[in-house]
Structure 1
Amino acid sequence: MQSQVLVRPSPQVLRALWLGFLAMAFAVAQVVAVQARGAPDSFADLAEKISPSVVNITTSTVVAQATDRRPQLPPGSPFDELFRDFMDRNNRGGNGDQAPRRGQALGSGFVISEDGFIVTNNHVIEGADDIEIEFFSGKRLKAKVVGTDPKTDLAVLKVESNEPLPFVQFGNSDAIRVGDWVMAMGNPLGQGFSVSAGIVSARGRSLQGTYDDYIQTDAAINRGNSGGPLFNMDGEVIGVNTAILSPNGGSIGIGFAMASNVVTKVVAQLRDFGETRRGWLGVRIQDVTPDIAEAMGLEKAAGALVTDVPDGPAKEAGMMANDVIVSFDGQDVRDTRELVRRVADADVGKAVRVVVLRDGKTQTLSVTLGRRETAEGEGQSAGSSQTPAAPQEETLLGMTLRVPTEQEREAAGLPTGTTGLLVVGIEVGSEADAKGLREGDVITEAGQQAVSTPADLTKRIAEARDAGRKSLLLLVRRGGDPRFVALSVN
């Protein structure tokens, strides 16, 4: 049997170990402090460096006046002639039309090239017939509009200068982290050049636009800051200040700047073409929710579910309704928002590989992208030569359904040759009611199969139950726009 011997270290050894531990703790504390990166002692050097590239923008527009502001008086009233004479003296020409006046608006922007290209918000210069740029030095120049993009609220202007202008570079907004320091510059409330600082509060915010990718910051942003730059600590533009969330019109620390990685693509196209040229896939899509994933037998709720494939690039490539797009041009697709942005960023005419899930298996399609701006506004023709049977109503899944008439098919915007069931009633408090189904909707598919009679839907419900599914996937059209809804069959 082996014995164990307890060795007691000497006081000198204990002291050396303790000093070593303290040294290690100090080193770790220094590393943590470096990683935390506290507030800089001053933002003065950064502000001094980038201020010459930031500009104030003043726009003016002719605003028509009201044609007649006389009070309504009874015919023949002794005051009628008095008011008419008074108003006519203040109107040009005495014909009841007041002289138009010029309205002014203020905003901000920043120079991106030494030859005078300037970035701002579209809403800053929209409708303006005169645009003046004021530089930090006090110099003023007239600007012309190179191109605008209302979808991202961006605009590119151009000034002519006899000498090179100071400008700033774009940074990588994807590299910014929540908690990083940022600086906003601009012309808040018409007060002239002003600097505010804060941190990144959130990323990937969406307001109302299709291509939204906003950085949220608590740096003070007010009216007049629109179009101005949001800088990182290296003096690079990582956002364009666009909007604030406020109950009173002033800054409460919730401001939004369009991320630079969106801005740079739009600005490049506006500079080169004077307009945007976004890729177009040619599908209608919706997110894959957990209940839709369960109804389709998918492993996870991810990807973009194709609800309709009108004439266009995707249809030519063989894409079909009910396909789930899981990869686009070599990158996984998490949801519809991500897919829309990636398609828009892709080059028009580019052949891309699109991976879809169809009937539980993956298929790879090669799609040559079209141009979204050309395709917008094009739609499918409605109507059909088929005549439905006599209406016969039946209640299923909390809905009263029947075959639609020809007029009802046209009103619902059904594509030619499409059959379906018209929703003529919704049970209040039912799951169908909770998920937004309404009278006038048309169900064209159930369980990824076409339905044309209530008996077809009854059969699909039975098949889902027999397969052990908790819900049934319905393709619903409203005003011609399709979407998928999963309803419980238990």
Structure 2
Amino acid sequence: MRTQQLLYIAAGVVVFIMLLLVGWGLTHKSGDGGGNGRSAAGFVGAVERAQAATVMITVSGSGANEAPLQMGSGFVVSSDGLIVTAAHVTGGLPVFNAVFADGSVARAELVAADAAADVAIYRATPGKPLTFLSFADSNQVKAGQAVVLMGAPYGLVGTATSGIVSAVNRQIGAPVNEEDPFAAGALSGPVKSFIQTDAALTAGGSGGPLLNGAGQVIGMASARESRGEPGAGLAFAIPSNVVKAVVDRARQAPPAGQAPGPTPQP
């Protein structure tokens, strides 16, 4: 009799442990593998905020009756109007118009640019606090994690495309030999370590933010390689740590036309 009771107790313990393991598996199943613990459904809130913080970059037409010319995408990184884009998008342009998803337009002026990092910082003056995006540590990005790429491809501001991180620390530099697959491609810029993703990057999307499931910026769209195949291609993003370093330097620099203050005495 006692033996039978012990068997019942043992069976109950086994069932309890199995239920705990099943519960643990269900709670962790929705993770995206990138350390942010968000499921695909979590991108809804991330995209809503990012849409408000993503801009289309345009310049006025050469003639009075010509429509504005779209140049690319950018995103707001501070409530007082700092906007980040890829330096190759604006080419050192001192001023552009930032068009938001709600249709509002703000004039943005160049604050700083780092051609080597392909990052340019502008400041808009919309007269109100802006929705902005924060940076995540790009060193924590993992291949396989889900991502969303925001931008204004074809002038469609606030467009989101999704995918995964295909690879990290992708080395794309000067060809080392004739067999280099990117030797004849568009990816010959100075940034040597990209985040590679299969999220679609199309015309006008360069300069847009690449987001993790928490809606944080892990990279900035810089280039793509499609080999002319419609609907195909790979996108490459500059890691957020590189972008953030340029932003931080721009924030510490004195405003344009203002001389640096005196050096503090010890």
TM class by smaller structure? 0.7 to 0.9
CA distance in 2 between counterparts of 1:272 and 1:250 reads 43
CA distance in 1 between counterparts of 2:95 and 2:167 reads 36
Structure 1 counterpart of 2:178: none
Question: Secondary structure at the residue paired with 2:246?
Answer: helix
Rg larger for: 1
Name which of 78, 101, 110 aligns with 2:75. 110
Name which of 191, 194, 198 aligns with 1:214. 194
The verdict on how the C-alpha distance between 1:211 and 1:273 changes in structure 2, with shifts beyond 3 A counting, is farther
For the 8 Å contact 1:105–1:124, the answer to whether it is kept is no
CA distance in 2 between counterparts of 1:25 and 1:248 reads 52
Structure 1 counterpart of 2:84: 119
Name which of 119, 129, 134 aligns with 1:169. 134
Structure 2 counterpart of 1:262: 242
Shift of 1:214: 1.6
Structure 2 counterpart of 1:405: none
Shift of 1:103: 8.8
Structure 1 counterpart of 2:19: 26
The verdict on how the C-alpha distance between 1:211 and 1:221 changes in structure 2, with shifts beyond 3 A counting, is closer
The Cα offsets for residues 17-75 of structure 1, whole Å up to 9 and x where unpaired, read as 2332232233223334434435433632222233211111113586xxxxxxxxxxxxx
Name which of 194, 198, 211 aligns with 2:163. 198
Structure 2: which 5+ runs fail to align?
32-38, 174-188, 255-266
TM-score by length of 1: 0.43
The Cα offsets for residues 379-430 of structure 1, whole Å up to 9 and x where unpaired, read as xxxxxxxxxxxxxxxxxxxxxxxxxxxxxxxxxxxxxxxxxxxxxxxxxxxx
Structure 1 counterpart of 2:264: none
Shift of 1:164: 1.6
Question: Secondary structure at the residue paired with 1:14?
Answer: helix
CA distance in 2 between counterparts of 1:143 and 1:165 reads 13
For the 8 Å contact 2:227–2:233, the answer to whether it is kept is no
For the 8 Å contact 1:61–1:103, the answer to whether it is kept is yes
For the 8 Å contact 1:156–1:271, the answer to whether it is kept is no
The Cα offsets for residues 225-264 of structure 1, whole Å up to 9 and x where unpaired, read as 1101111222211111111221226553622111111111
Shift of 1:218: 2.0
The verdict on how the C-alpha distance between 1:54 and 1:246 changes in structure 2, with shifts beyond 3 A counting, is same
Q: Given the alignment of the two structures, is residue 232 of structure 1 paired with residue 226 of structure 2, yes or no?
A: no
Name which of 137, 144, 166 aligns with 2:109. 144
TM-score by length of 2: 0.75
Shift of 1:126: 0.9
For the 8 Å contact 1:106–1:190, the answer to whether it is kept is no
CA distance in 1 between counterparts of 2:67 and 2:51 reads 30
Structure 1: which 5+ runs fail to align?
1-7, 63-100, 275-490
The Cα offsets for residues 300-321 of structure 1, whole Å up to 9 and x where unpaired, read as xxxxxxxxxxxxxxxxxxxxxx
Q: How many residues align?
A: 230
Structure 2 letter corresponding to 1:236:
Q
CA distance in 1 between counterparts of 2:68 and 2:78 reads 30
Structure 2 letter corresponding to 1:226:
S
The verdict on how the C-alpha distance between 1:250 and 1:34 changes in structure 2, with shifts beyond 3 A counting, is farther
Question: Secondary structure at the residue paired with 1:182?
Answer: strand
Name which of 19, 30, 42 aligns with 1:37. 30
For the 8 Å contact 2:98–2:105, the answer to whether it is kept is yes
For the 8 Å contact 1:181–1:232, the answer to whether it is kept is yes
